[in-house]
Amino acid sequence: MKVGVVVFPGSNCDRDMFHVLTDVFNLNAQYFWHEKGLPKNIDAIVLPGGFSYGDRLRAGIIAAHSPIIKDVQKMAKKGIPILGVCNGFQILVESGLLPGVLLKNNSLNFMCEWTNLIVENNKTPFTNQFQLNQKIPIPIANGEGRYFVDGATLKKLKKNNQIVFRYDKIVNGSSDRIAGVCNEDGNVVGMMPHPERAVESEINPIDNKPSSLIFESMLDAMGAKN
């Protein structure tokens, strides 16, 4: 079972994600530099957080044009589980794999704090081990984390069950308190908070079990597929 961790110039949560995948969940993870292609035998893909290309122009837009994104798009069509975290989410949005945009937080500041998520869709490869409405204590760390969609798209997201996570209260002004969404097929998920920062009890001051379910869901989804 192989998980690809895609690395762009300026990614900075790649090593954290790699540590969690390999040392905490015993997965076979491998880094893929953005200029290379992805092998066919990959079972899941993670786009970690960071500041790809220093957030120039706007977060995620330059990385969305990297060569590797073509392969990510192909994998997405095949139904392979793909998770984008923080800058990874921004890249998935900018590359058209997920709907919406991510704007500057309404405080206009970078925000690093612990929030609570509510699971709104437990049918995705990253949420299948959760109860609906389950709470996840998890940190955010972003400057452009305010998810925005227009009214018509929001309606569509609700209808297709594409809202995966909401904050339990207003954090940054996101449309409908949205913290994470999926594509129509449900296999591509993007989220602003950082699950890799919350799965180890040593550094999670509240409860590390809920966040761990994100990775356990992924394990389950990969197992079911094979």
* Residues 203-222 close enough to bind another protein by CB under 8 A: 203, 205
Is 55 a binding residue for another protein by CB under 8 A? The answer is: yes
- The beta strand positions in 27-145, using DSSP E, are 28-33, 44-47, 82-85, 101-103, 111-119, 135-142
DSSP class of residue 59 equals T
Q: Using an 8 Å Cβ cutoff, are 7 and 53 in contact? A: no
| One character per residue 7-46, x = contact with another protein (rule: CB under 8 A) | --xx-xx-xx--xx------------x-------------
Which residue has 């110039």 as its token pair?
9
Q: Which is nearer to another protein, 146 or 197 (CB)?
A: 197
Q: Which is nearer to another protein, 4 or 139 (CB)?
A: 139
| Number of chain positions touching another protein (CB under 8 A) | 31
161: left (phi over 0), alpha (psi -120 to 50) or beta: left
- Stretch near another protein under the rule CB under 8 A, chosen from 38-46, 74-82, 162-170, 201-209: 201-209
| Alpha helix ranges (H) inside 48-202 | 67-78, 87-94, 151-159
Of 86, 94, 144, 182, the catalytic one is 86
Is 51 a binding residue for another protein by CB under 8 A? The answer is: yes
> Which residue in the set 37, 39, 54, 223 belongs to the binding site for another protein (CB under 8 A)?
54
| Closest of 125, 138, 131 to residue 214, by C-alpha | 125
| Closest of 191, 59, 83 to residue 138, by C-alpha | 191
Could you give the CA distance from residue 210 to residue 173 in angstroms, rounded to a whole number? 24
Which residue has 């069950």 as its token pair?
161
Output the smallest distance, CB 109 to another protein, in A. 5
| One character per residue 131-150, x = contact with another protein (rule: CB under 8 A) | --------x-x-x-------
Residue 112 annotated as catalytic: no
Given the rule CB under 8 A, which residues bind another protein? Answer: 9-10, 12-13, 15-16, 19-20, 33, 49-51, 53-56, 109-113, 139, 141, 143, 194, 196-197, 200, 202-203, 205
